[in-house]
Chains A and B, each alone.
Chain A
Amino acid sequence: MFAQHILGLSGLAAAAFFILGLKRMSSPATALSGIVVAGVGMVVAVAASFLVIFDLPDTVRPHLTINLILAVIALLIGGGWAWMRGRKVEMTAMPQMVALYNGMGGGAAAAVAAVELSARGMQAVEILAVTVAGALIGSISLTGSVIAWAKLDGKINRPWRFSGQRIVNALVFLTTVLLGVAVIAFFDDPLLPVLAVLFFLGALAFGIMMTLPIGGADMPVVISLFNAFTGLAVALEGYALQNPALMIAGMVVGSAGTLLTILMAKAMNRSLANVLFSNFGDAATSGTSEVQGQMKSTDARDAGIAMRYASNVIIIPGYGLAVAQGQQKLYEFVKLLQAAGVDVKFAIHPVAGRMPGHMNVLLAEAGVPYDIIFDMEDINADFASTDVALVIGANDVVNPAARTDKSSPIYGMPILNADQAHQVYVIKRGQGKGYSGVENLLFYGENCSMVYGDAQAVLTQMVQAVKDLGA
């Protein structure tokens, strides 16, 4: 009896710690303590869950020793592997790592559902239905996340599409749902194991099939969606297990993840349905207006010196900076400018990097303090009074066509107003187009000069040029 109360209260404490932790993560100053608070909740809940041994039916007794040994081994293997991988993973590879861990959570929820169904203990239809629904969502999250991980990790390079794909996917989904209904309806039937296996296979297959046609640029939105899916699956299995802690934690993540997904899609000027069901990469190459003017290029050293004598500079970093591993060099350059009295700010587009906030993490890794980093809404008005805008490895997010050209596929997307600065420098590897495949009008502007080359190499030259001035 006593153990039961401890177990119940530990779940309550864990739920409180999780919500408090998430709340603390809402400000950079307290964010680090937030994850620690949430971690304490997790340790309490996991430790207390062993108390269930005092409250088991007698049928479990003969298996208890083996079960406990298995539990400890599984905790060590799963936890240990993930901990080691998580410690070593590069910051640029963070999104796919989150996807992988998320898929595992979905798989765990689906596996819990499978155990519950195999026990054949419960008969209440609503609990069965909830278990099956959690299994469906968890399985989709598992295989979908693995595909998302493989895509971001470069293991799958192109979207896999064929005509009629949407119809095939819809049929697979419908069949899986019908199988799930059959599992509930024929729960006492000897056919149950066959139905259940088919149901799980269908759900796993659908996760793969719905993710394969989606392009790499949209993966962050998809990962965020699967994150919400896993939360929902965990919440549903929590009800099946009559465990309020799982229900609360899962549903908090489910709703927070859904909101985050919508925010991300909005930042890319697309609806969620658009991300999931339209094949963006295909259609986007058409529909650009004729470009006026010519691109000018300039020397890295000249650009660096011009910025040294500017009074204010706004830097717009994109994923290309991270690909070139140029963040450290960039911050070195920024410190030189600051030492010379230049007012330097960073402007971050909501989708810079691979997901919202990813660029902030990459800059933070290089040591850039977050109080000189500004969101788009906070800095866009400043460009008109800025001497130099420096664009590094970013393209679509500074394309003025989004404001003016109605035929452009990126029309309406919020952009950084880099074109309003007195002088714009763009560091870029070559003359290629951005993710959307659209010509960038900014590059043809009167006030814009291109600096071609690898971001890290260019920044090294700029640093050297400014240092030479002082020597």
Chain B
Amino acid sequence: MAIDTSMTWLIALYIFMLAAFTGYEVISRVPSILHTPLMSGSNFIHGIVVVGALHALISATSLFAQIVGFLAVALGAANAAGGYIVTDRMLAMFKTSGDKSTAGKKN
């Protein structure tokens, strides 16, 4: 493994607990109008699995590991790239009346 400090299961549980509370806190303040983009945004974030997939593929020593690792990287990259572009497109459409005043009021 890259970092030469082995993580004990107890430290892992600490990390999981803190991350779980973080996720809960961040989401609980989101207005419902942003729920769909937010689901898509969190979908993008678990695209980080591509990093694990890259590690698995780059350190592969068997044909099986190469094939399945290739699949993992392709799927993970699709998760990350697709999640990003879809979220970005949705969020780019949110505007206030202020932004629209030039287009809206002149009719």
Contacts and interface: CB of A to CB of B under 8 A. Distances in A.
Interface of A: 4, 7-8, 11, 14, 18-19, 21-23, 25-29, 31-32, 34-36, 38-39, 42, 45-46, 49-53, 55-57, 59-60, 63-64, 66-68, 70-71, 73-75, 77-83, 85-87, 89, 91, 94-95, 97-98, 100-102, 104-105, 107-109, 111-112, 114-116, 118-119, 126, 223-224, 227, 230-231, 233-235, 237-239, 241-257, 259-260, 263-264, 267, 335-336, 338-339, 348, 350, 353, 355-358, 360-361, 364-365, 367, 369-373, 375
B80 A42 contact: yes
Interface of B: 1-4, 6-7, 9, 12, 15-16, 19-24, 26-62, 64-66, 68-100, 103-104, 107
A4 B29 CA distance: 37
Contact of B41 (A35, A87, A116, A364): A35
Contact of B77 (A18, A27, A74, A94): A74
Contacts, number: 421
Nearest to A9: B3
Minimum-distance CB pairs A-B, first 5: A82-B82, A78-B77, A78-B74, A111-B72, A105-B79
A300 B54 CA distance: 59
Contact of B86 (A98, A119, A336, A350): A98
Contacts of A231: 42, 45-46
Contact of A32 (B9, B42, B88): B88
Q: Is the interface of A mostly helix, strand, loop or mixed?
A: helix
Contacts of B96: 28-29, 369-371
B42 A46 contact: no
Contacts of B95: 364, 367, 369-370
A358 B36 contact: yes
Contacts of A60: 58-61
Nearest to A22: B26
A49 B54 CA distance: 7
A42 B48 contact: yes
